[in-house]
Amino acid sequence: MTYSSYTAGHSRRAYNQVNDARLNSAADFVRGLFGEQAATAVAFCALDARLDGDAEEFRFWTAVFKKLTTFN
């Protein structure tokens, strides 16, 4: 499923809510697994994806990194 086919029948807001829930879930999981080193672990995941040339995976991990390092 591509982004354009997904958004054809869904609002952008609904997509963002699902995406935010996925990012929050991933951030919580990584925090539980790596504790204080969660941001470092996610940075390595993003780097690995970048070196593999996987742009979608890279964007996901950088978004998780942002969630982990941004104070709300």
The pLDDT assigned to 6 comes to: 40
Q: Per-residue pLDDT for 72 more than 90?
A: no
- Output the six-digit token pair for 46: 């993003």
pLDDT digits 0-9 by tens, 7-50: 444 445 544 555 888 899 999 999 999 999 999 999 999 999 99
Q: Indicate whether 7 belongs to any domain.
A: no
Range of the domain at 20: 12-69
Q: Indicate whether 57 belongs to any domain.
A: yes
Q: Which helix (H) or strand (E) holds 26?
A: helix 12-34
On whether the CB atoms of residues 1 and 10 are closer than 8 A, the answer is no
User: How far is 56 from 64, CA to CA, in rounded Å?
Assistant: 13
pTM for this predicted structure: 0.73
Q: Indicate whether 63 belongs to any domain.
A: yes
The pLDDT assigned to 28 comes to: 94
Total structural domains within the chain: 1
Distances, alpha carbon 68 to alpha carbons 24, 40, 53, 54, in Å:
9, 10, 23, 21
* Mean predicted confidence (pLDDT) in 40-65: 94
Determine the straight-line distance between the first and last CA of the chain, rounded to whole angstroms.
Answer: 32
